Chain A
Amino acid sequence: DVKVTQSSRYLVKRTGEKVFLECVQDMDHENMFWYRQDPGLGLRLIYFSYDVKMKEKGDIPEGYSVSREKKERFSLILESASTNQTSMYLCASSSASGTGIRDTQYFGPGTRLTVL
Chain B
Amino acid sequence: KNEVEQSPQNLTAQEGEFITINCSYSVGISALHWLQQHPGGGIVSLFMLSSGKKKHGRLIATINIQEKHSSLHITASHPRDSAVYICAVRLRNTGNQFYFGTGTSLTVIP
Contacts and interface: CB of A to CB of B under 8 A. Distances in A.
Interface of A: 9, 31, 33, 35, 40-45, 48, 50, 58, 88, 90, 92, 94, 97, 99-101, 103-107, 109-110, 112
Contacts of A104: 33, 45, 48
Interface residues of B, number: 24
Interface of B: 2, 4, 31, 33, 35, 40-45, 48, 50, 86, 88, 90, 95-98, 100-103
B33 A105 contact: yes
A94 B96 contact: yes
Given A97-B95, A105-B33, A42 B43 contact: no
Contact of B48 (A41, A42, A103): A103
A75 B52 CA distance: 38
A95 B39 CA distance: 27
